[in-house]
Amino acid sequence: MKRWWHRLARWWRTTGDSDPQSLIWARIAATFPPIFTANQWVKQQQLAATFLRHKRFWGADGLTVTPEMAATVAFGAACYAHRAGIAIFDDFIGIVLYPAPFQVLRRWEDETGVVHEWPDTLEGETWAQGPVVLSWLSDPSERWAVVIHEFAHRFDAALGGIWNETWLSAWERAAQEPARLPFSPEALEDPGEFIAYTAEAFFLAAPRLKTWDLGLYSLWCQLTGLDPAAVTQVSHTNRKEPS
C-alpha cells in the first residue's frame, strides 16, 4: 500500500496543462455542478491537490483506488476549504473506499442490560478518531452526495460544531413541511444529519436550497466562502442552446 501511495504522490506532483492531472480535473468537473468562479476554480484545484498530497487512500473489498478516484474525493473535501483552509482536515490520516455500500455491525444496550446487535448497510461513515469511509457508487450524482455528506460531518467537527439558531430555525421549518424539502427528510434524524444533508443541497442543488431557506443558504455561504447559486445561475444563463 505504501508503494501505491508513493506512486500516486509522484504522479500528483506532475504539472503542466498537457499532463494527466489536467485531464482528470476536467473529467471530475464535468460531473459536478458549475459552482465556482474562475478564481475559485483555480483555488479549488490547489486545495484538492494539497489534500491529496497529505492523505492516504485504502481500497476495501478488493477495490483498486485509481488517481481519479482519489482526486474526486479530494475535490469534494476541498469544497469546504475555500474559507477555512484545507488544514481543517488535518485531524485524520486518510480515506477508505469500498466498491459498493458496506455493512457494519451495530450494538445497542437497552435499559435492562440486554445487548442488541444488527447489521447496518451504509454508503459512508465518518469516525471521530479514524478515517472517512466512502462507497464508490457508480452513479456520479449519488457518489458526490456521499462524498459531500461525509465531509460535512468532518467540517462540522473541525469547526467545533456549527449548529446555531439559524440551523434550529431551518430544522423546525423542515419538520413542519418534510414533503417539500430540497434534501432528504432523513436530515431530520438528528442535527448532525441535518447539517450533512443540507450540505448536499448547498453544493449540488444550490438554487433549490436558496429558494427554500435564504438564511440557511447564506450561512453555508459564510462558512464555505462560496456562493454556488449565483455561479450556477450565471452559468445556466450564459449557456448557449445547441444549434
pLDDT at 223 over 70: yes
Task: Identify the band that residue 9 occupies on the pLDDT scale cut at 50, 70 and 90.
Answer: low
Task: Identify the band that residue 11 occupies on the pLDDT scale cut at 50, 70 and 90.
Answer: low
Q: What is the mean pLDDT of residues 83-112?
A: 85
More confident residue, 192 or 110: 192
State residue 107's pLDDT score: 72
Task: Identify the band that residue 240 occupies on the pLDDT scale cut at 50, 70 and 90.
Answer: very low
pLDDT at 12 over 60: no
Of 212, 170, 206, 204, the C-alpha closest to 187 is 170
- Whole-prediction pTM: 0.86
- What percentage of the chain reaches a pLDDT higher than 70? 83
Task: Identify the band that residue 15 occupies on the pLDDT scale cut at 50, 70 and 90.
Answer: very low
State residue 8's pLDDT score: 59
pLDDT at 155 over 50: yes
pLDDT at 242 over 60: no
Q: What is the mean pLDDT of residues 89-104?
A: 88
State residue 191's pLDDT score: 96
What is the chain's mean pLDDT, rounded?
86
State residue 126's pLDDT score: 87
Distances (CA, A) of 55 to 50, 136, 236: 9, 17, 35
Look up residue 104 and give its three cell numbers: 457494519
